[in-house]
Amino acid sequence: MSMFLLAVQDTYGVVLAQVGNPTPEAPPGSEKILQLVRYLTWFVLLSGICGIIYAGGKFAWERWSGGGLESPKMVAGAMIGGVVATSAGTIMNAVIGT
């Protein structure tokens, strides 16, 4: 059994030595997909800005009317969502490890 594993390991090492380290390349026509991703990124940023503005107005209204304070959670959620959305490329590069 150990000779079989040694042979498999030796064959696997030879095959991997021939493969090399390929570099990623965008497929043909990927510019339209990347443009869509840029549009979606812009929309996410716009949504985050609108969410923070809305939460700020709601915070002022809650303070003025004496209601419960829910708006600080909304601001924190919008900010955390914005950080995750804008750093998605960095997160994927860290996970994939290119």
Residue 12 pLDDT > 70: no
Amino acid (one-letter) located at 45: L
Distance of CA 81 to the CA centre of its chain: 10
Which residue blocks in 1-98 are alpha helix, DSSP H?
2-19, 30-65, 71-86, 88-96
| Residue pair 79/52 in contact by the 8 Å Cβ criterion | yes
**pLDDT tens digit sequence for 43-62:** 888 888 888 888 888 888 88
Q: Which pLDDT band, with edges at 50, 70 and 90, does 11 fall under? A: low
d(CA 73, CA 65): 18
Task: Map tokens 């809305």 to a residue.
Answer: 54
